[in-house]
Amino acid sequence: MATSVWRRLVACFSSLKFYLTVLCLVATVFVLLQICSFQITQHSLSLPPALLTYLKHQPEQQSENKTAYLVEKLRESVTFLPLKDIRFSNKPLEGHTWFMSSLFDNQTKGEAQYQDFPSDSSKGRLLCLKGVDEHDGSWNYYALAWPEALPTNAILQKGLTFVSYNQYDYGNLWHGLTAAFPFVSWSLRNQCEKPQKWVLYHKGELRYWMGNWLSEILTATYGQEPEIIHFVDVNKPVCFEKAVVMRHNEGGMSRERRLEVFDHLRCKARNYCNISSPETSNPRIGMTLLMRTGARSFKNESAVINVFKRECERVEGCVLSVSYSNNLTFCEQVDLMKKTDVLVSPHGAQLTNLFLMDRNSSVMEFFPKGWLKLAGVGQLVYKWGANWSGMRHEGAWHDPFGETCKFPDTDKRCMSLVYKNAMIGYNETYFGEWARLVLSKVPEHNKGNGSLDVCPQC
């Protein structure tokens, strides 16, 4: 039994020796490999240069490839939507409107509603526009894109661009002015920043021109002619380094802010036309009949002129002028309004000039038959304009006589078929008494009219 135990001990020690030997060999091999690796690292020039370069830049290239991949995916994800969303055609001017309907406006207290890009609300993305359609706004498009991932074939427009939406047009003085008005307000709030370009839309349809009067007032305001972008390739979007969008005209602006902007426009126009206050100590009251030809003109102009001439002659210092706005240049209109204390005119775009008078000047407005019942709020725009610009709207005369409509006089078809472009009669007694009353209040109103000859700095 002792012999058996001894044999087992010998076998155990022999096995332990074997295991120790194997462990020593493994440790030796590991140490040799570490030494070899260290030597290779210390003498890396022994490896082929091309292989070394590949190994060195492999992680960096993987990172760059991943970034490029993500940028390309962002570029592909840019989605263009129709500028005119026909789902809201029954309420095109409400809320977000049917123009760029997926976006909501920003608004500073007392200011017009607006959108600006890039901004926090756009998450730093730029506004991009494409399409060339001048007849259907649903075929023109908009999208937002990050500056690093603009759409394929996109053109980047540098500087500030004003993007205007107008439900009406840019040829009519009033509609054009109310579309441009909020941009001037925005500039005044932003160190008088000037636009490099303009984009004009009417119901989402592109427009490439504006009326001469509007172009002149903007040139006077910004010191440069408005330059309108022309879109020529439907497959080449234009993205804007900086853009401001207005789609509510002057909506949301306080009266105080409107007064400030109209003061600025008036002052800029007078400076642009080199018109200054006359140096005279003699009291002067300027009464101007700003006439129309054709639609909404007076049927008997000479009779109307004689009434106001007679009343003007009864007032010391009163000077009567009779002019037609379509025969006057922009600066001639500015000069005429500077000399006007009482503006007498039929309802029409020429009355837009009323803000160019000194503050507290008076406006007398005339309408054809039918307007009072059927014209709606549109007949009030110059009353509003007078109030917003610091003038006194002295009321309106609606002709009770005129052409008869074949439909009931409450039928809206009568407005478009008969009354809208009808001519205006006159009432000698009423016109005379009205003119006498308005002229009697001019000296009191003209005290400290508050108009500026030196435009305020931004």
Four-CA torsion 294, 300, 303, 305, nearest 10 degrees: 0
What SS3 class is residue 406?
A: coil
pLDDT band per the 50, 70, 90 thresholds, residue 341:
very high
User: Quick one: CATH architecture of 284-447?
Assistant: 3-Layer(aba) Sandwich (3.40)
User: Residue 205 pairs with which residues in a beta bridge?
Assistant: 202
pLDDT digits (tens, 9 = 90+) for 307-326: 999 999 999 999 999 999 89
Contact between 420 and 295 (Cβ < 8 Å)? yes
Q: Of 91 and 104, which is predicted with more confidence?
A: 104
pLDDT digits (tens, 9 = 90+) for 410-432: 999 999 999 999 999 999 999 99
pLDDT at 6: 46
Nearest alpha carbon to residue 238 among 155, 145, 137: 155
Q: Please give the Cα distance from 288 to 337 (Å, whole number).
A: 8
Structure letter (DSSP) for residue 354 = G
Domain ranges of the chain: 79-256, 284-447
Nearest alpha carbon to residue 117 among 261, 251, 249, 238: 238
Q: Please give the Cα distance from 199 to 204 (Å, whole number).
A: 11
pLDDT at 56 over 70: no
pLDDT at 111: 92
What SS3 class is residue 264?
A: helix
Q: Please give the Cα distance from 321 to 315 (Å, whole number).
A: 15
Q: Return the minimum-mean-pLDDT range out of 73-82, 208-217, 218-227.
A: 73-82
Structure tokens at 327: 């025969």
The average pLDDT across 129-138 equals 96
Q: Of 369 and 30, which is predicted with more confidence?
A: 369
Q: Is the pTM of this model over 0.85?
A: no
Q: Please give the Cα distance from 261 to 251 (Å, whole number).
A: 14
pLDDT at 40: 40
Q: Return the minimum-mean-pLDDT range out of 88-97, 127-136, 232-241, 290-299.
A: 88-97
pLDDT band per the 50, 70, 90 thresholds, residue 35:
low
